[in-house]
Structure 1
Amino acid sequence: MSEQNITNSGDCSIIRPCPVDAVTLTPLSDEVARPNLVPANLNPILKVPVVLAETTLQIVVEANIPLNPPASEIKRVFKDVFITQCKLVPVRFGAESCEGNVRTVTRAKLFVEGFIRKDIEYATTNCNGFIRDRIATVPFSGFAELTPGEFFVFPTIGGSSESRSRFINPKNSDIPRLDKYFFENNVFYNEQPYCELVSADFFELDFSPCPTGVGESFDTLREKIVVDLTLKVLQLRQVRVNALGLGEHHSKD
């Protein structure tokens, strides 16, 4: 017998099947807290993610997905995109943006790798069949070129240097010393640009490789899928904020 709860209401008994434990919560008081802000007479420097570019990549994939047990009909397919790697590789540089051999990147290759997660619901037979669930991950990889017109803000990258100074042999000025060197190294640690998912539009055709008749089943689902994947490319940068101008509103007479 299933669990139930009987409540008397006047002359009638109300049956609540499948009761669960519940607690009525007590409301708590709240008040506005005063934040600890940077003084208004300072112009702080913030380190924040800056959007370098926003691009839509078209991914075209074909795959065969085995079905066990075989299917007679596909009911629903849910899809999501997962990015496992997104790297920006500079290929062209502009002028130095500040001291210390820090240059702007004017052209780059964007390498993207990930997979499409598909959740397939299908019927096993035509008459009184069961609904089965099949999860498949379809990998993809590729690259795109980001040109100067596609950047909102150019990425920056600082170069490292290594130098070696030689010495003359004090006993014979015609030959150098091979046992004495002066080394100098300069290393710049850059903020790696990274990606952020924005949206994905899926267009796909799913079918059995071999046409099946009425009452027959198929054990392989072939898919041809096109994904328009929109990504943001960001980099942590330092930005000076005018604290005096924040929140001000200027109106015209």
Structure 2
Amino acid sequence: MEEYIVNTNKGLNVENTNDCGTLQQETCATVATQIEPLTEQTAVTPAIIPAGPVFLKLPVVLAETNITIPVEATITLDQAAIEIKRIKKNVFLTQSRLIPFSSTDATPNTGILFIAGFIRKNIEYATQTCTATDSPNLCGDIRHCTVEVPFNFTTRITFIRPPVLAENTIPSELEYFTDTLRGCDICADPVIGRNPCDQSFSFTEVFNEKPFTELVNAFVTEVDIHTNPTTNCNLPTEQSFTTLTEKLVVNLTLKVLQQQQVRVAAIGL
């Protein structure tokens, strides 16, 4: 049996005995604080633009949608668990693509949205390391496992405001006239037509602002099913498992935006 003696004269020093009966001294954590002085500040009046029309480039909301995604995943733990203590979940998006030119007569003013992402799950679970032979008591460790559950979907969205996109122009070519071309026969008339020595091309390339997606909120509900649990006759109320199947319902609220040039009216003071 270990004996603990707390020394209250010099901070938090703890003395205990090891397996051989020799006293060992351990120093607990210490905290040092320092009071910081208050720095005074002076308010500054911001400079404003004069009254009149102003053009700004701002993120404009194209669409906002709520999507429900069913996901099923099978997770295998590195050790047998007897109980899931806690699961912390975070949703991340890894891909967001919008095809705006996908509307039809039946679905006007719409686009197709491609989304991919994953659910980061940190699973804390209890393991069994020892069991008392003459009692139903058992002991173990608390372990954790972090996994990523991928998902992807495609949906049609309705635009609140359509994106501003300009197409590239069709390449154009200019040809020049000439009447100085001659064949091998010096007695023949000169050839009149296009000058093959001079050509002129014109092409306009337009660079549009790419629409992007923001994740407004994510709500995840799940059911965990222990697959092939192992039971013990001495402990009928306890079971261990290494594989669990998760059935998840992921509800996402997404906002699709695009940088657009907006005209506002500035009010002078």
| RMSD (Å) for aligned C-alpha atoms | 2.8
Question: What displacement does 1:91 show?
Answer: 2.2
Q: Report what 1:202 is aligned to.
A: 220
Q: Deviations over 1:166-198 (max 9, x none)?
A: 53674445x766664321111111000001111
- Is contact 2:102–2:112 with CA below 8 Å preserved after alignment? no
Distance 1:58 1:158 in 2: 33
- Is contact 1:69–1:219 with CA below 8 Å preserved after alignment? yes
For residue 246 of structure 2, the aligned residue among 212, 219, 223 is 223
Q: Report what 2:78 is aligned to.
A: 68
Select the structure of larger CA radius of gyration.
Answer: 2
Paired letter, 2:163: P
1:161 aligns with 2:147: no
Q: Report what 1:23 is aligned to.
A: 34
Q: Report what 2:208 is aligned to.
A: 190
Structure 1 residues not aligned, in runs of 5+: 8-16, 95-104, 247-253
Paired letter, 1:161: T
Q: Report what 2:112 is aligned to.
A: 109
Structure 2 residues not aligned, in runs of 5+: 12-27, 129-136, 182-190
Q: Report what 1:77 is aligned to.
A: 87
Distance 1:71 1:159 in 2: 58
Paired letter, 2:94: T
Q: Deviations over 1:52-107 (max 9, x none)?
A: 1111122221111111111111111111100111111122479xxxxxxxxxx932
- Is contact 1:92–1:108 with CA below 8 Å preserved after alignment? yes
Q: TM-score by structure 1 length?
A: 0.78
Distance 2:178 2:249 in 1: 69
Q: Report what 1:54 is aligned to.
A: 64
Question: What displacement does 1:4 show?
Answer: 7.4
Change (3 A) 1:211 1:38: same
For residue 42 of structure 1, the aligned residue among 24, 49, 52 is 52
Q: Deviations over 1:186-234 (max 9, x none)?
A: 1111000001111111111111122443433111121111101111101
Paired letter, 2:61: V
Change (3 A) 1:62 1:178: farther
Distance 1:5 1:69 in 2: 46
1:123 aligns with 2:126: yes
| Number of residue pairs matched by the alignment | 222
Percent sequence identity over matched residues? 39
